Structure formats: C-alpha cells, structure tokens
Amino acid sequence: MKLTEVDKRLLALHYVFPVPVNRLERLFMIDPNLEKIFDFKATEFASLLNIPIRKASRLQENLNTNTTVPYDTLYEQKNIIPIPFTNSQYPDSLKNLIDPPAVLYACGNPGLLHQRFKIAIIGSRKATAYSNEAMELIVPPLVESDVIIVSGLATGADTLAHKAAIKYGGKTIAVLGHGFFHLYPKENRLLADEIIKNHLLITEYPPYVKPEKWTFPMRNRIISGLSDAVIVTEAADKSGTMSTVEHALDHGKDIFAVPGPITSALSIGPNKLIEEGAKPIWNGFQVVETLIPDH
C-alpha cells in the first residue's frame, strides 16, 4: 500500500501518541498536513492536544528523537500494514465514528475491509454450548452470501464466531484491543496465525501497546463500526457485548439476538435486546433476507 508523506508523519505521531482522530482535530486544523509536528514547542502541543505540559514535553522529546525513523519500513519488515486515517485505503465506515482510529494496523488481507457485507457476531467470554449450536445455524448462510464475520478474538463467543467462519469456508476479521506484539488471549495464538494467513487481524494500537482493561471497550466501537449489523448470541445483562451493541445502535445498525432460555443468566442480554426491538433470529437466512433482500 502506498503511503503519502502526510501518512508517514501521522505514523510517527501515532507511535508516540496513540489516540483516536478526535483527539487530534485541533492539531489538524492548525497543521492539516502535519508538516510542523517536529517543530512545535511543548506548550503548543499542550494547547492543541489538551494534555498536561509534562506529557507534551515527553511527546515533543519522543518525536524529535525519532524524526528519521522509517516506521513504514519497520512495519513492513514485521508484515504489518499501517492504514492511516489520511490514506485513501482507510475504510469509510469507520469515518462515521465520533472517534475514528487515527491508524489501523493490519496483518493479513486488508482488502477484506472493503468487501460489501460485514456482520459482527459477539457474545460472552463464558459462552456455553448453546452459542456454538447457534453459530452452526447462523454462520453457514452468511458465508454462502459472502458475508465477512467480524469479532474480537476473545475467548468464548468471539472465538466460536471466527472458527465457524473458517470452518465453513468464509472470511473473518478479528479486531484486537492491543498491539500485535502482545497477543491476548495467548491460547488463541494458532487461531490468530490462521487469521493472519488467510483472513485479517486489525488493531488501532501500535505494536508495543499491551492489553489493558480500557483498551477492550475502545475496540468494541471498531467491531460495530466496521459491521453492517451485529448478532448477539449469549451475554450477561451488563457486559462488553452490550457496550458493542450500544455503539451499533448509535450508528443505526441492525441488531439481531439469539433468544435463549429464561433460566440462563447469559440469555438475559439477548432476551432484553429482543424486548427492546432487536430482531430475534434462529438461523442465518433471516439475517441475509434483512440485509441482502435481493440475494
């Protein structure tokens, strides 16, 4: 992928200040091509980025120290494809977010970002056999309609969704809540390797960023932002799954939920969503008919 000089300067800035685009808006207004970022004083950074002067001083120092670092070449050596917000290959769907990632880092086939239909399948990290049974009914019709399955590579429902897409010959995108040098959970290493080889792994964090509690809720907005609709299998009433749904609702996405037994705590989330207007589903054809009516 061809990077412009603006792209390369954004990579340098993002490496030392990995924040979403909305945190950089005032900087872009003053310096739209980021030509002055290596010349700004700490006080200017503090004002433009709304950060404490001590943090602005560290930012200035780190930028000046790494002025000549060829980030694009270093990423290429690690088979990482950076897609800056300023690049034409950045997915339009993420630009609709309030806080789009300033850079997407990709491993695998970035062309999947631009395929027409993408659906998120999400649920509990403690997903039961019921989620697995649901995947068997929901995923095959989606794959047959060339829908890409998006999820978060977490244990439980995410893992089941990625594996089902692969099992039935479809494509999947996994969105990480950390940089590529710190894969989490570790037990999904083989799955991640398979996704890198034949599918797509993405994150908004530079490779060195470790997983933190706050990075996973941030990741959820990318999952919903990339997707045309969200399917919820099993989820507790208050969970990361439900935060992803909230992001999707904010952007007018269709929500589908798998109805579950009233005796299961993990069915409270989907059942409540159905009560609030989500479409109940028990097979993937229902999703296909809603999103691809002329298929």
Q: How far is C-alpha 126 from the geometric centre of its chain's CA atoms?
A: 21
Per-residue pLDDT tens over the stretch 241-263: 877 888 888 888 899 999 999 99
| Residue 65 exposure: Cα atoms within 13 Å on the Cβ side | 8
The reply to whether 53 and 144 lie within a common domain is no
Q: With bands split at pLDDT 50, 70 and 90, how would you rate the model's confidence at 105?
A: very high
Q: Note the pLDDT of residue 226.
A: 96
Specify if 173 maps to a domain. Answer: yes
Percent of the chain with pLDDT over 70: 99
The reply to whether 271 and 127 lie within a common domain is yes
pTM of the full predicted structure? 0.95
CA distance 209 to 261: 40
Q: With bands split at pLDDT 50, 70 and 90, how would you rate the model's confidence at 292?
A: confident
Specify if 99 maps to a domain. Answer: no
Last residue of a domain, one of 41, 60, 80: 80
The reply to whether 145 and 39 lie within a common domain is no
Q: Note the pLDDT of residue 24.
A: 97
Specify if 103 maps to a domain. Answer: no
- How many domains does the chain divide into? 2
Last residue of a domain, one of 27, 60, 80: 80
Domain that holds residue 221: 110-291
CA distance 183 to 190: 11
Per-residue pLDDT tens over the stretch 216-239: 888 999 999 999 999 999 998 877
CA distance 203 to 222: 9
Per-residue pLDDT tens over the stretch 152-205: 999 999 999 999 999 999 999 999 999 999 999 999 999 999 999 999 999 999
Specify if 161 maps to a domain. Answer: yes
Specify if 221 maps to a domain. Answer: yes
Q: Note the pLDDT of residue 295.
A: 57
Tokens, residue 143: 């794959």
Specify if 94 maps to a domain. Answer: no
